[in-house]
A and B are shown apart, each in its own frame.
Chain A
Amino acid sequence: MNKKILAFSVCILMMTVMFSGCVEEEFHADTLIIESISEARRLDPASDYESAGWMVIQNVYEGLVALNGTDSHSVVPLLAESWDISEDKMNYTFYLRKGVKFHDGTDFNADSVVYSLNRALKMGQGPSWMLSQCMDLNSTQKMDDYTVRIRLKNPYPSFLLVLTTPVAAIVSPTYVEANGGVKEGVLDTWMNEHMCGTGPFKFDSWTHNQQLTLIRNEEYWREPARLERVIIKTVDEISVRVMDLEKGDADVIYVPLIHMDKVEGKEGIKIYDDHLSYAIDFICMNCKQGPMANKLVRQAFSHAIDYKTIQETIFKEYAVPYVGPLPRGMWGYNESVQPYTYDPQKAVDLLKQAGYHDEDGDGKIDDFPIVTIWYNSGNDARSAIAVNFQSTLREIGVGIEIREAAWPPLLDKDDKAELDMLIIGWVVDYDDPDDYAYPLLNIENGGSAGNGAWYNNTDVNEWTEVAKTMTDEKERLEIYNKIQRQCTEDAPYIWVAQQKEHYVCRDWVKGHYYNPCLSECDTCGGYLYPIYKER
């Protein structure tokens, strides 16, 4: 009898599991739950330099100016109500907003602006170069309690855009001083774990590798946010994130492009994909040594990759072709330069011109050394790109080896110009061509600092240097057009794909807008102030 009862119970349990659909989804109108793959490294705007941390920072801290909605190239007032720029573009005078309070209750004023900008410069951590490229410790001066003047050490046309980045966020001086103050050249371990800004959300708690919670700032100087609480959870496994989204346990999740088919077409799930991001993926080809030092070989390789198939199968059509170093849509991008296309015959012809051809007719190019393509371990998309490229190269008789390695040895090899080819990506700090052209093309940044191809063209070196500080927009645009044309001719990189926005959420999440400089493709939070939930 007992056995029968047991067997019956097991059957009932199995049937429940098999035939019950997804349980009723939960809905909490005032709380947004975000599930992402990695947590913030640090929460200090002066030292954090990665997108998961920036996503949190941009919701708790504010700068003097903010990006103008979806437009990444213009700014609107935020903590500064207005500003004047001198004719020589060297002096910026900011008139600050009154009545703004930090989350610790202290007043925002000119002292806090001077303190915060100088703090980032003194600490000299990862992102501080954005400020130090045009400012020093004497640059920021208090004119009166609510007026600040910043005198640049050299003109920098995108200075206002730099001020929209987290490194220029304003922190509460009282709070920082009460918790250890500023130490030159040293990380602030307290501020890495705690936050005190003026933003629409306040830091509530952080359980590492589990969840970070933000709560609404009820004393916000604008209308308080509509969300009362935001929980950012770390969930490594994509299948679990997708299940949580379907069930309603998560409102927004991060989905790598290679897994987008797991969420497409599902009921109740909304995917925002109208805009282009500024995240680009490309292959560096070693211009310094090996067969790729020959421009014709690089051009041949640029014609030997099947861009369309990669964009369709690996990027799941959330990508477009582009002509680097600038991403499409960025100020300075030249639409008239055409990207390389997949043309195996042209690739064979170019290799022939370079002295490599298949004389014995065995289907393999004679005397072409085996070259190696590298990518960072664990990156499924890059692994798939390498495999695809290997197969299309094999069709024209070129064999390549695929290798993966962890970041440190990979970047170390890159610094020594030991990599034949490297698949890598680049994301934006602020919408200025200098943020891409200078690091990727100037030989000063040879190796892991950006120019992974070790591309060295005297003209391009000079142009990228000059264009940095040029204030005449027309002249500057012309220079970037020249850079783009020259770079296409020299082909140091294969510009594989530019990613599109892919914000995956429940359809009850409203108010989302995309700005390529606010939320990167590998985060999913963006700017939370306008977000609300409505069924």
Chain B
Amino acid sequence: MRLRYYIIRRLVLLIPVILGVALITFGISHVIPADPARAWAGEKATDEYVEQLREAYHLNEPLYIQFFYYIGSLFHGDFGISPTTGRPVIDDLKDYFPATLELTLVSMVIAIIIGIPLGVLSATKKDRPVDHVTRVFSLSGVSMPIFWLGLLMILAFSFHTDLLPSGGRIDEWLGPPTRITNLYILDSLLTLDGTRLMSSIEHIIMPAICLAYATLALITRMTRSSMLEVLNQDYIKSARAKGLPERRVIYKHALRNALIPTTTVMGLAFGSLLGGAVLTETIFSWPGIGRYAVDAIVGLDFPAIMGFTLLVALVYVLANLIVDILYAVLDPRIRYE
């Protein structure tokens, strides 16, 4: 019951957070002393057309009036029309965000199912060869440029062996599955479309591994260090003294406690992957929100910048809320009032 109130309270607190983010983003993006109308219109557009754009986007009005217009539309669920793509920003977000979300979710799954066991293995076999190998693996994950790793993977698994496609979300001959959530794997499953499901999975493998690698390394190292700390605790010693099987000591008693700091890292990593997958998206021609955001920022496309920022802020806040809830699940001593 208390947890439910806590969640409701956190969700209500979302409103000031979003308003704050809107205000800050609006301020920062508009503080650049440049009139973007000419860039939006194109070099060869007439002055009349440039002026028409300025009026349509209220660029001639003072900043606070522009903000008022923006917040007004936002309350009506209208993010505005992107002056560069000519489409409603909400449609762009609906197209691009699910692609990034899908990629991030699969990456997180890969990072977690490989990272946590590796971290545990590394901690339990401390200073033994397997620990050294894991350390090298993790260090290379953190230090290897995504760009280089991605190109290498394409060269190895697409160009030379043709095991996997070099880019895109689905085979160009098939086209997307019937749109429900715009998460291709989920949509293919929901529509029982086996061909598209296989194609979507084939296409996501390389970018997801590439994106997951750095997070995986982080999770592995974090799990290792917290496991090492937990394994020295008295209750672990007493569990062992009681004669519990080692497997049970590690996975039931130690890991559960060691997962709390790892969960924090996972929550933050999820948010940053959502907003920062641009390099992976570029190499693997993944039509995600990262590439859209970069284009919007470079072109000072205000409505698109605002739409993207608000969305990422929302996801960050929700991811952290989920992490907070997970704390309570992992550690019964944590209670939310």
Of the residues B35, B43, B167, contact of A412 by C-beta under 8 Å: B35
Within residues 244 to 299 of chain A, which ones have a CB less than 8 A from any CB in chain B? 244, 246-247, 249
Knowing A47-B86, A192-B87, A207-B175 touch, does A448 contact B160 (C-beta < 8 A)?
no
Asked if residues A41 and B298 are in contact (CB atoms below 8 Å), the reply is: no
B residues in contact with A236, CB < 8 Å: 282-283, 285, 291
Asked if residues A187 and B34 are in contact (CB atoms below 8 Å), the reply is: no
A residues in contact with B41, CB < 8 Å: 126
- A58-B157 Cα distance, complex, nearest whole Å: 37
Asked if residues A377 and B285 are in contact (CB atoms below 8 Å), the reply is: no
How close is B98's CB to chain A, nearest CB, in angstroms?
Answer: 12
Knowing A187-B81, A192-B87, A236-B285 touch, does A243 contact B155 (C-beta < 8 A)?
yes
Question: Which among B6-14, B47-55, B135-143 touches the partner chain?
Answer: B47-55
Q: Mark B6-47, 1 if CB is under 8 A from A, else 0.
A: 000000000000000000000000001111101111111111
Knowing A209-B292, A377-B298 touch, does A189 contact B88 (C-beta < 8 A)?
yes
- A146-B146 Cα distance, complex, nearest whole Å: 60
How close is A56's CB to chain B, nearest CB, in angstroms?
Answer: 14
Asked if residues B154 and A209 are in contact (CB atoms below 8 Å), the reply is: no
Across chains A and B, the number of contacting residue pairs, with CB separation under 8 Å, is 159
A residues in contact with B287, CB < 8 Å: 207-210, 234
Q: Is B117 an interface residue (CB 8 A)?
A: no
Within residues 380 to 433 of chain A, which ones have a CB less than 8 A from any CB in chain B? 406-409, 411-413, 415, 426, 429
- A355-B124 Cα distance, complex, nearest whole Å: 78
A residues in contact with B161, CB < 8 Å: 16-17, 20, 23
Asked if residues B49 and A129 are in contact (CB atoms below 8 Å), the reply is: yes
Asked if residues A211 and B92 are in contact (CB atoms below 8 Å), the reply is: no
- A126-B84 Cα distance, complex, nearest whole Å: 12
Asked if residues A234 and B158 are in contact (CB atoms below 8 Å), the reply is: no
Asked if residues A208 and B96 are in contact (CB atoms below 8 Å), the reply is: yes
Knowing A189-B87, A240-B154, A415-B35 touch, does A124 contact B48 (C-beta < 8 A)?
yes
Q: Is B224 an interface residue (CB 8 A)?
A: no
B residues in contact with A49, CB < 8 Å: 42, 44-45
Q: Is A93 an interface residue (CB 8 A)?
A: no
- A354-B313 Cα distance, complex, nearest whole Å: 57
Size of the chain B interface, CB-CB below 8 angstroms: 55
Asked if residues A22 and B172 are in contact (CB atoms below 8 Å), the reply is: no
Asked if residues A407 and B298 are in contact (CB atoms below 8 Å), the reply is: yes
Knowing A189-B87, A233-B285, A240-B166 touch, does A33 contact B172 (C-beta < 8 A)?
yes
Q: Mark A177-200, 1 if CB is under 8 A from B, else 0.
A: 000000001010100110000000
Knowing A17-B161, A247-B159 touch, does A124 contact B92 (C-beta < 8 A)?
no
Q: Is B156 an interface residue (CB 8 A)?
A: yes
Q: Is A442 an interface residue (CB 8 A)?
A: no
Asked if residues B38 and A21 are in contact (CB atoms below 8 Å), the reply is: no
Q: Is B169 an interface residue (CB 8 A)?
A: yes
Asked if residues B44 and A22 are in contact (CB atoms below 8 Å), the reply is: no
Asked if residues A449 and B43 are in contact (CB atoms below 8 Å), the reply is: yes
Asked if residues B92 and A208 are in contact (CB atoms below 8 Å), the reply is: yes
Of the residues A17, A239, A412, contact of B156 by C-beta under 8 Å: A17
- A408-B92 Cα distance, complex, nearest whole Å: 21
Nearest-CB residue, chain B, relative to A188: B86
Nearest-CB residue, chain A, relative to B291: A209
- A208-B162 Cα distance, complex, nearest whole Å: 26
B residues in contact with A45, CB < 8 Å: none
Nearest-CB residue, chain B, relative to A444: B47
Asked if residues B167 and A235 are in contact (CB atoms below 8 Å), the reply is: yes
Asked if residues A407 and B45 are in contact (CB atoms below 8 Å), the reply is: no
- A33-B86 Cα distance, complex, nearest whole Å: 26
Within residues 92 to 140 of chain A, which ones have a CB less than 8 A from any CB in chain B? 124-129, 132
Asked if residues A246 and B299 are in contact (CB atoms below 8 Å), the reply is: no
Asked if residues B52 and A233 are in contact (CB atoms below 8 Å), the reply is: no
Asked if residues B49 and A128 are in contact (CB atoms below 8 Å), the reply is: yes
Residue of A42, A193, A208, A231 with most partner-chain B CB within 10 A: A208
Q: Is B73 an interface residue (CB 8 A)?
A: no
Q: Mark B294-335, 1 if CB is under 8 A from A, else 0.
A: 000111100000000000000000000000000000000000
B residues in contact with A450, CB < 8 Å: 43-44
Nearest-CB residue, chain B, relative to A31: B173
Of the residues B44, B85, B299, contact of A408 by C-beta under 8 Å: B299
Q: Is A465 an interface residue (CB 8 A)?
A: no
Asked if residues B95 and A408 are in contact (CB atoms below 8 Å), the reply is: no
A residues in contact with B172, CB < 8 Å: 33, 211, 213, 231, 233
A residues in contact with B168, CB < 8 Å: 210-211, 233
Asked if residues A407 and B175 are in contact (CB atoms below 8 Å), the reply is: no
Nearest-CB residue, chain B, relative to A132: B46
Knowing A412-B33, A448-B38 touch, does A208 contact B95 (C-beta < 8 A)?
yes
Asked if residues A406 and B44 are in contact (CB atoms below 8 Å), the reply is: no
A residues in contact with B87, CB < 8 Å: 189, 192-193
B residues in contact with A17, CB < 8 Å: 156-157, 160-161
How close is A171's CB to chain B, nearest CB, in angstroms?
Answer: 16
Nearest-CB residue, chain B, relative to A28: B173
Q: Is B151 an interface residue (CB 8 A)?
A: yes
Asked if residues B43 and A408 are in contact (CB atoms below 8 Å), the reply is: no
Of the residues A231, A237, A243, contact of B159 by C-beta under 8 Å: A243
Asked if residues B300 and A408 are in contact (CB atoms below 8 Å), the reply is: yes
Asked if residues A246 and B167 are in contact (CB atoms below 8 Å), the reply is: no
- A235-B48 Cα distance, complex, nearest whole Å: 35
Of the residues B38, B159, B282, B291, contact of A246 by C-beta under 8 Å: B159
How close is B333's CB to chain A, nearest CB, in angstroms?
Answer: 42
B residues in contact with A378, CB < 8 Å: 298
Q: Mark B90-113, 1 if CB is under 8 A from A, else 0.
A: 001001100000000000000000
Residue of A234, A236, A413 with most partner-chain B CB within 10 A: A236
- A207-B161 Cα distance, complex, nearest whole Å: 28
Asked if residues A22 and B300 are in contact (CB atoms below 8 Å), the reply is: no
Asked if residues B298 and A125 are in contact (CB atoms below 8 Å), the reply is: no
Asked if residues A213 and B175 are in contact (CB atoms below 8 Å), the reply is: yes
B residues in contact with A409, CB < 8 Å: 32-34, 300
How close is B52's CB to chain A, nearest CB, in angstroms?
Answer: 6
B residues in contact with A358, CB < 8 Å: none
B residues in contact with A41, CB < 8 Å: 84-86
Of the residues B35, B81, B291, contact of A189 by C-beta under 8 Å: B81
Of the residues A42, A185, A211, A231, contact of B86 by C-beta under 8 Å: A42
- A201-B48 Cα distance, complex, nearest whole Å: 34
Of the residues A240, A249, A439, contact of B283 by C-beta under 8 Å: A240
The 3 A-B residue pairs with the shortest CB-CB distance in the complex, in nearest-first order: A209-B287, A409-B34, A412-B34
24 A–B contacts, CB within 8 A, in A order: A17-B161, A23-B161, A126-B44, A126-B45, A192-B87, A207-B95, A208-B92, A208-B96, A210-B169, A210-B285, A213-B172, A233-B168, A233-B285, A234-B285, A236-B282, A239-B151, A240-B151, A240-B283, A247-B158, A408-B32, A408-B36, A426-B43, A449-B44, A449-B47
In addition to A189-B81, A193-B87, 11 A-B residue pairs with Cβ atoms within 8 Å of each other are A125-B49, A129-B45, A207-B95, A210-B285, A236-B282, A237-B151, A243-B155, A243-B158, A408-B40, A409-B300, A450-B44
